[in-house]
Chain A
Amino acid sequence: MISKTKQVNNTHEFHAGEPVHINGLNIVCNVEKGLGSGTQGKVYSLISPDNSPLVLKWYFPSMATTEQYDILKSLIQKGSPSNRFLWPLALVNASKKEGFGYVMSMKDSRFKSFSFWLSRKVDPSFKVLLTACFELVQSFHLLHSKGLCYQDLSLNNIYFDPENGEIRIGDTDNIVINGEDKGNVIGTPKFMAPEIIVGKALPNTQTDLYSLAIILFYILFLNHPLEGKIESSIKSLDLPSMSKLYGFEPLFIFDPNNDSNYPDPAYHANALIFWDIYPDFVKRIFVRAFTNGIKDPTHGRVRETEWQIALLALRDSIYYCRHCGSENFLVTDSSVFEKLKLPVELGGINHEINVPKQNSTVERVQNNSVCWNPKCKTMNTRILNIQIDDRSYIALNHDTKIFPHHIDPDRKYDFSSPVAEVSRHPTDPQVWGLRNLSKNTWKVGKANGDAIEVYSKQSFSLVPDTQIDFGSSKGIVCY
């Protein structure tokens, strides 16, 4: 059944129409067509009795190892952490075929690999990217809580919908049990923690946190966090020099205390451009991830919950430039992260970790809310936002929605249905309001001291200094 050897003609391939018995699901499907193949196996779409979209991945003979079979068995037993994973549903053996395969859900074509974003073949908004990043962190969190971790992950195997940021995670057949030795970790994967590359650790939750940080940085800065001047000085790519870069001597390109791996403008322009766009609290958390996170693998890494808070705060700070419509990040004097008294671990100020600046204009740009778009550079002032307790603030755009996550400390990460949305006054579109989409009645204190009640479906005008009691928290409208 499990064979590592000899290649008899085509006994590991399926042709269209061929029946596939999936005992684990108690169904028989038919092969529709081949979808593609790579280094591990060939993937076929299936026609299933109830039309559920399924695919079959069948391993090449050399890849159909007992280790792989056992991994699949335990993954199927454990079950998928969430529908974001293209998880193995059932093993498949076929009497006349060499090796084995497994079935999983089909990935819809609306999902594009992040490598498309890297080459800018898709053009998602920051909001979408941050949603996708948040979903990734959440998925890692779920996976870890099942005692599982990735052995190796790459931008090619994670997919997102460029319209809304929903994600899918492929290549789940490489997922392993936390800390277990599967014995096939060699080479120099770009997303692997240094301690694995140097042979000091096996994949575990802590090494996964490092991979997660790399992927988030890659997505938000379009550059690998360790690929700066040192990389671009390498002329002949050999594995030892790669192991040095990613494993033995990893150095963050924006390390505040060592600029010897600073981005090379000829090769790492993206990193420089994006470094200027994001607010300081984001840079700070990445600096921590790639300084302390490298030095101290057990305690120094940024945890999933910390990423979640930072990514959502960043998403909430998006506003559209008045002139060109580009998404910018709000850093107001009244409600910067600094002022929210966040603990250092959550991205709050730590004066030991300073954020390297390219030049003094950068600072000016940020403080003045100048649009980052080089063709625009409009100064945006008086950007409407709402500050909720001392926890968060949300820039208020024409399309902003507020969720239980924002107003109810007991319903963190609940984005299931909005409780409020920005609305326009029916007769005067210049006047913006906030509509109550919840069932609760809000108590609103107007700037002039009047108090009113805002019932479900009603709106009130968004005037600075207006206070709203949502019940579970209080908000204040600011400029």
Chain B
Amino acid sequence: MAALRVLFATKDKWFMTEINSAQVVDKSIISNSKRWLVDSESVKGELHSRTSYSNQDSIQWKQSYTSNTIVMSVADGHGSDIHFRSKVGSQIAVKTTVETLFELFHNQPIEINNVSQVKDIIRYSIPRLLVHNWMDGVRYHMYKHPFSNNEVDLILKKKGPLILEKIINNPKIAYGSTLLTAVITKNYFIFFQLGDGNILIVDNDKNVRNMFSNNNSDLNDKSSIDSIIHTESLCMDDSWLEFKTGIFDFHALKPKLILLSTDGYCNSFTNESGFLKIGLDYLALLEEFGYSYLSENLYEILRQTSREGSGDDITLGFIYHI
């Protein structure tokens, strides 16, 4: 149980007893012949519960039963006043991204012997296409639902006429969102990230790797934005240039577990190393208690984490290699 300390340090009593009495063997794992088990959960943070905002996070994934392709996308709407439609923005983001990438990687499989030949397409074309399709989605939503008087009045009151004008001229700002995506195919892995959030990889040897952690990058990411937008976001002009992309052979990662989470999760810990331990905790949970056990309890785990930590929305998706 030592490995579970981070998750359960201050969990409710009933939750602990539930673990101790849980059946260790999970039927769904035994009967499941697929290589990957996938699930996700999203909770609304206490902070937001107190205000009028809803949960700004979105998550979506799609798994092929024939080709082993999985695409999972997590988006975190910025949720501040000027991004007043960011819940819709994050929904559009995960929906268009999963559709676009599934279409590409499932329907036209690229194998490892030629992935190196499409590396530049993946690095430079896909981010632009994702932004493009997101912007189309946003435009369509705007067309169907123009800003209401209510929305306009609220921005005017809270932010003043200059900001209002900016948003009216550039409505995608209202939809601002981050985007995290993992694509898994038979032989290789591709990750995209724009803005905050984390992609954790736990490998066979129980190393936890934070995919785009700032401190292992070559440079301290100097933000190149000076505008009203506070973070790297789909709504920035040229946002595709800010995408971080990783392309890996199976052997480069040997993943056992892949976790995608919004930054509400990481912010619930005082430091990164504390956060990284969740990788091992979830792996231990999956290995000791099984997939359906985790699926059933994930909501409660996230709710507790948010309550005791950041108070922010938390969304987690996991992809487990059995």
Binding site for B on A (CB under 8 A): 7, 10, 12, 37-40, 42, 60-63, 109, 112-113, 115-116, 118-122, 152, 154-156, 184-191, 224, 231-232, 234-239, 242, 267, 269-270
Contact = CB atoms under 8 A, between A and B. Distances in A.
Given A7-B251, A186-B114, A237-B129, A156 B119 contact: yes
B117 A39 contact: no
A39 B119 contact: yes
B113 A121 contact: no
B47 interface: no
Interface of B: 100, 103-104, 107-108, 110, 112-121, 123-126, 128-129, 132-133, 136, 187-188, 205, 218-219, 221-222, 224, 237-238, 241-242, 247-249, 251-252
Contact of B248 (A37, A62, A184, A239): A37
Contacts of A190: 120-121, 124-125
Contacts of A184: 113-114
B300 to A, nearest CB: 36
A60 B249 contact: yes
A446 to B, nearest CB: 49
A121 B252 contact: no
Contacts of A269: 237-238
7 contacts: A39-B249, A60-B252, A119-B242, A121-B219, A190-B124, A238-B104, A242-B121
A40 B116 contact: yes
B130 to A, nearest CB: 9
Contacts, number: 117
Given A62-B113, A190-B121, 6 more contacts: A39-B249, A60-B252, A154-B120, A156-B123, A186-B114, A231-B128
Contacts of A12: 251
Contacts of A235: 129, 132-133, 136
Contacts of B112: 39, 62
A237 B123 contact: no
A63 B113 CA distance: 8
B104 A119 contact: no
B195 to A, nearest CB: 13
A447 to B, nearest CB: 47
A290 B126 CA distance: 24
B121 A188 contact: yes
A350 to B, nearest CB: 32
Given A38-B248, A237-B104, A239-B108, A191 B241 contact: no
Given A184-B113, A237-B100, A37 B121 contact: no
Contacts of B218: 109, 112-113, 116
Contacts of B242: 119
Given A186-B114, A189-B118, A235-B133, A60 B251 contact: yes
A121 B248 contact: no
A39 B115 contact: yes
Nearest to B241: A119
Nearest to A63: B249
A364 to B, nearest CB: 27
Contact of A236 (B103, B128, B221, B237): B103
A224 B103 CA distance: 24
Contact of A232 (B132, B187, B219): B132
Interface centre among B123, B205, B247 (most CB of A within 10 A): B123
Contacts of A37: 248-249, 252
Contacts of A121: 219, 221-222, 224
B209 to A, nearest CB: 11
A237 B126 CA distance: 8
A152 B115 CA distance: 13
B224 A119 contact: yes
A115 B124 CA distance: 9
A267 B128 contact: yes
Contacts of B238: 269-270
